[in-house]
C-alpha cells in the first residue's frame, strides 16, 4: 500500500459550509446578489405593514418594492392571508391609536388630581394650585390635539372592507401577474400530510401553526414554504424573503435574539432549489435597501418601522372533539368560527405586554395561577363556541398566548341534540 506523503483525500468530501450553510452568515456579495438579482417574496404579515405605516413611511416602503418589481413574487398562500387579514389589521391600527390616546389622557388627568392632593397635604394656596392645574390642563389639551393629528389614519374601514382602499389597489397593480398559482388538489393533499408530519416531528416551518380545525389553515406556513421552494427552483435565483415572523419554527434565536432563518430552512432551500435563502424583516429590508439598491429611505421611516409594536405569538388549538364537530358543521358555520378566531388572534397579537398584564390583573388572577381568559364566540344559526385564552410564559421570559376552542354548542333542535356542549375534552396531543 502506497501512502501519499502530502496527506489523504476523502471520497466525495464536503466542506462544513456546504453541509451546514444555515450556520454561516451570508457574504456581502451574496447580500448584494439577493437584493439586485434575487427572487423577492413577502409573506402576508410583512405586506400588511403597508396598512400599519403612516403615509410617508408607506410610500417609501412601496418605493423599495417598486425598485425590485421585476423580481417580485407573492406566493398564493401569502396573497390569500393578506386579503383575509386586511380588515383586522386596519381595525387594530385604528383601535391601537385610540387606546394609546386614552391611556395618555388618563395619565395627564391623574397629574391634575395629584397636584390637588399635594396642595392639600402641604397647604399650597388655592390660587397657586388652580394656576398649576390650569397649566396642566392646557398642556394636556395641546398634547391630546397633537396625538390626535399624528395618529390620524388616511384609510377608512368601509373602503378596506369593500376592497376599494388605495393600498389594496397599489398591491394589485404592483403584483399584477406576480402571484403564484395555488397547489393542485394532489399537491395540496401531499402538503397537508407533510405539514402534519412536520408538526409531529417539530420540523420547520409550521409546527407552531394552529392545531385542530381547518387542515388548510393548519398547514398554512408549510404551504407558503412549499410554493416558495417551487418558484425558487423554477428560476434558479437566490431568495430574499421579507417576513416579520418571530416564531421558533421560522427563525433561529440565541438568548432570545433572532440571528437568522432556521438552519434547516436554509439547507432545504439549497438542497431542493439549489439557491441560498436570505431572510429579513421589514425594517431590515428598508435599511439594507439604502445600501444595496440606493433607494431613498428616511431615518424617520426606519424609526417608525422599528417602533411598530412587537406582536405576541398567538396560537390556535382545538380540543379533539371540538375539531371533530367543527368538521361536521355546515361550511358557512365553519368559516364563521374560523374568521372569528382569526380576528381574535389578530387582536391579541396587537396587545402589548403591559396591556396583557393589565388584562390579567383586571380579572383578579394572581401570579402563578392559571392565566386563562374566557371568551364566547357566536356563530350563525344559534351555534356558539366557548374559547379560553391562556397566557404562557416561555423559557426566555417572553409571553405567548394560546387560543383553545374548548366547546362547540349546537342550537336546539340540531342533528346532534338539543343545545349540547361538544368538545369539552382536552386535546393531549
User: How high is the pLDDT of residue 132?
Assistant: 83
Alpha helix ranges (H) inside 151-184: 157-161, 166-174
Instruction: Give the pLDDT mean for 81-92.
Output: 88
Looking at residue 59, what is its pLDDT? 94
How far is it, in rounded angstroms, from Cα 227 to Cα 96? Answer: 34
User: What sections of 175-281 are H helices per DSSP?
Assistant: 185-201, 215-218, 220-235, 263-273
Chain segment 180-238, per-residue pLDDT in tens: 999 999 999 999 899 889 888 988 898 776 555 555 667 889 999 999 999 999 999 99
What three-state secondary structure class fits 32? helix
Q: What is the distance in angstroms between the CA of the first residue and the CA of the last residue of the chain?
A: 58
Q: What is the pLDDT of residues 98-132, one digit of tens each?
A: 777 777 777 777 787 888 888 787 778 888 888 88
pLDDT tens, position by position, 350-371: 554 455 555 555 545 444 444 5
Using the predicted structure, report yes or no on whether residue 160 has a pLDDT greater than 60.
yes
d(CA 297, CA 294): 9
Lowest mean pLDDT among 47-51, 79-83, 241-245, 354-358: 354-358
Compute CA distances 207 → 89, 222, 341, whole Å. Answer: 24, 9, 19
Could you give all domains of the chain from N- to C-terminal order, each with its CATH number? 25-88+160-307 (3.40.50.1010), 313-422 (no CATH)
> Within a 10 A sphere around the Cβ of 285, how many other Cβ atoms?
26
How many Cβ atoms from other residues are within 10 Å of residue 306's Cβ? 13
CB 185 within 8 A of CB 216: no
Question: Percent of the chain, pLDDT > 70?
Answer: 77
Asked if 292 contacts 30 with a C-beta cutoff of 8 angstroms, the reply is no
pLDDT digits (tens, 9 = 90+) for 293-308: 999 899 889 888 887 7
Tens-place pLDDT, residues 15-62: 888 888 888 888 889 999 999 999 999 999 999 999 999 889 999 999
Choose among 214, 204, 198: nearest CA to 253.
204
Length of the chain: 429
Per-residue model confidence (pLDDT) at position 418: 34
At residue 292, does pLDDT exceed 70?
yes
Instruction: Give the pLDDT of residue 332.
Output: 73
8 A C-beta contact, residue 240 and residue 269: no
Contact by Cβ (8 Å): 44, 241? no
User: By C-alpha distance, which of 254, 403, 399, 221 is closest to 312?
Assistant: 399
Q: Give the span between the Cα atoms of 167 and 86, in whole angstroms.
A: 10
- Within 10 angstroms of residue 134's Cβ, the number of other Cβ atoms is 11
Please give the pLDDT value at position 428: 35
- Are 172 and 79 in contact by the 8 Å Cβ rule? The answer is no
Compute how many other C-beta atoms are within 10 angstroms of the C-beta atom of residue 194: 17
pLDDT band at 419 (very low <50, low <70, confident <90, very high): very low
Mean pLDDT (the chain, rounded):
79
Amino acid at each position: 500500500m502506497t501512502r501519499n506523503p502530502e496527506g489523504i483525500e476523502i471520497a466525495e468530501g464536503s466542506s462544513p459550509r456546504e453541509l451546514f450553510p444555515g450556520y454561516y452568515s451570508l457574504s456581502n456579495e451574496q447580500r448584494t446578489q439577493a437584493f439586485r438579482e434575487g427572487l423577492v417574496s413577502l409573506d402576508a404579515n410583512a405586506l400588511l405593514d403597508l396598512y400599519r405605516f403612516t403615509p410617508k413611511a408607506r410610500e417609501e416602503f412601496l418605493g423599495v418594492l417598486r425598485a425590485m418589481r421585476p423580481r417580485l413574487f407573492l406566493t398564493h398562500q401569502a396573497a390569500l392571508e393578506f386579503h383575509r387579514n386586511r380588515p383586522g389589521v386596519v381595525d387594530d391600527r385604528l383601535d391601537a391609536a385610540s387606546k394609546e390616546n386614552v391611556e395618555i389622557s388618563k395619565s395627564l388627568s391623574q397629574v391634575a388630581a395629584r397636584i390637588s392632593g399635594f396642595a392639600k397635604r402641604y397647604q399650597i394656596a388655592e390660587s397657586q394650585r388652580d394656576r398649576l392645574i390650569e397649566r396642566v390642563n392646557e398642556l394636556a389639551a395641546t398634547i391630546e390635539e397633537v396625538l390626535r393629528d399624528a395618529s390620524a389614519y388616511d384609510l377608512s374601514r368601509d373602503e378596506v372592507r369593500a376592497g376599494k382602499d388605495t393600498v389594496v389597489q397599489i398591491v394589485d397593480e404592483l403584483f399584477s401577474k406576480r402571484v403564484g398559482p395555488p397547489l393542485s388538489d394532489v399537491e395540496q393533499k401531499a402538503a397537508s400530510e407533510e405539514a402534519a408530519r412536520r408538526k409531529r416531528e417539530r420540523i420547520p416551518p409550521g409546527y407552531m401553526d394552529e392545531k385542530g380545525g381547518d387542515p388548510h389553515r393548519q398547514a398554512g406556513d408549510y404551504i407558503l414554504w412549499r410554493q416558495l421552494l417551487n418558484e425558487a427552483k423554477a428560476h434558479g435565483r437566490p431568495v430574499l424573503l421579507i417576513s416579520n415572523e418571530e416564531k421558533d419554527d421560522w427563525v433561529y434565536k440565541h438568548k432570545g435574539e433572532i440571528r437568522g432563518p432556521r438552519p434547516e430552512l436554509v439547507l432545504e432551500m439549497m438542497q431542493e432549489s439549489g439557491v441560498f435563502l436570505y431572510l429579513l424583516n421589514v425594517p431590515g429590508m428598508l435599511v439594507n435597501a439604502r445600501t444595496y439598491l440606493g433607494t431613498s429611505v428616511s431615518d424617520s421611516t426606519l424609526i417608525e418601522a422599528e417602533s411598530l409594536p412587537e406582536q405576541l405569538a398567538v396560537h390556535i388549538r382545538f380540543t379533539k372533539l371540538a375539531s371533530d364537530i367543527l368538521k361536521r358543521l355546515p361550511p358557512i358555520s365553519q368559516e364563521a368560527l374560523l374568521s372569528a378566531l382569526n380576528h381574535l388572534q389578530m387582536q391579541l397579537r396587537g396587545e402589548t405586554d403591559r396591556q396583557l398584564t393589565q388584562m390579567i390583573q383586571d380579572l383578579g388572577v394572581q401570579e402563578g395561577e392559571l392565566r386563562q381568559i374566557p371568551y364566547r364566540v357566536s356563530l350563525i344559526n344559534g351555534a356558539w363556541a366557548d374559547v379560553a385564552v391562556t397566557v404562557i410564559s416561555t423559557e426566555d421570559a417572553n409571553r405567548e398566548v394560546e387560543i383553545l376552542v374548548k366547546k362547540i354548542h349546537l342550537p336546539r333542535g340540531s342533528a346532534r341534540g338539543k343545545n349540547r356542549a361538544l368538545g369539552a375534552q382536552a386535546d393531549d396531543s
